[in-house]
Amino acid sequence: MEKRFGRAALALMLVLCALLPETYADPAACRRPSAGESILGPLATCFPSDPTVAGTGFEGVFEGGEIALQRAIRIVYKNREQHIALLFHASWCPFSKICRPNFNTMASLFPTIPHFAFEESMIRPSILARHGVHGFPTLFLLNSSMRVRYRGPRSISCLTDFYSDVTGVKPPGTDPSTSSKTITLLSLDGRHPGR
């Protein structure tokens, strides 16, 4: 009798082990979230059918709501070193009205950085709060390992300095060696060289 009970218990344990999900034994299931996941949320919130915009050559600002925000997050997850710019703004906010055109200019000055703009009425307040947006306008530069909020004047020159400091990318035409050569060449008797 005791032998039968032992066999039945063993059979029951084998059946239960077969029915348990494999994730309990999988070490990947216990992994720590990446910096991007802790900042932006889990990767599972991205739609696999959304095209990425990084490297498409599109110069401009992607506008939208929560789906556009998910596209931005997908860029960060897919391209670990890719920086993106996120602007959260409000139509009723006078500071947002000043900042929004400058954000468009930044998109043309830094075409390698995808730019996304989100109007506050297009995104639920809980999602805004999850991303640290408590006032407008709010500008972030981020990649998979960091998120930097801009706090400063909304002028193009200050924004350009911020972008360059965070990303290491310089806008075209700001290389000091070429700028000084151009100034020197233009200041020689008002003539173009070679003429």
Per-residue pLDDT tens for 75-95?
A: 888 888 889 999 999 999 999
Amino acid at 20: L
Rounded-to-integer distance, Cα 167 and Cα 140, Å: 12
Strands 146-149 vs 115-119: parallel, antiparallel or unpaired: unpaired
- Using DSSP's 3-state secondary structure scheme, residue 139 falls into strand
Q: Which residue has the higher pLDDT, 80 or 58?
A: 80
Q: What is the pLDDT, as a whole number, of residue 123? A: 93
Closest CA to 149 of 169, 132, 129, 174: 132
Q: Which of 26-35, 125-134, 182-191 has the lowest mean pLDDT?
A: 182-191
Q: Tell me: pLDDT of 23 over 70.
A: no
Predicted pLDDT at 10: 65
Q: Which pLDDT score, from 0 to 100, does residue 91 have?
A: 93
**pLDDT, greater one: 20 or 10:** 10
* Domain 35-178 class, CATH top level: alpha beta
Question: For residue 53, which amino acid is it?
Answer: V
Q: Is the dihedral of CA 103, 104, 105, 108 positive or negative?
A: positive
For residues 130 and 7, which has the higher predicted lDDT (pLDDT)? Answer: 130
Nearest CA-CA partner of 88 in 127, 39, 50, 40: 127
Q: What is the mean pLDDT of the chain?
A: 74
The domain locations on the chain are 35-178
What average pLDDT does this structure show over 11-40? 54
pLDDT for res 158 = 95
Q: How far is CA 31 from CA 26, 28, 151, in A?
A: 10, 5, 34
pTM (two decimals):
0.61
Phi, psi of 147 (to 5 degrees): -135, 125
Greatest mean pLDDT range, 14-28, 39-53, 58-72, 89-103: 89-103
Name the nearest CA neighbour of 113 among 86, 131, 133, 138: 86
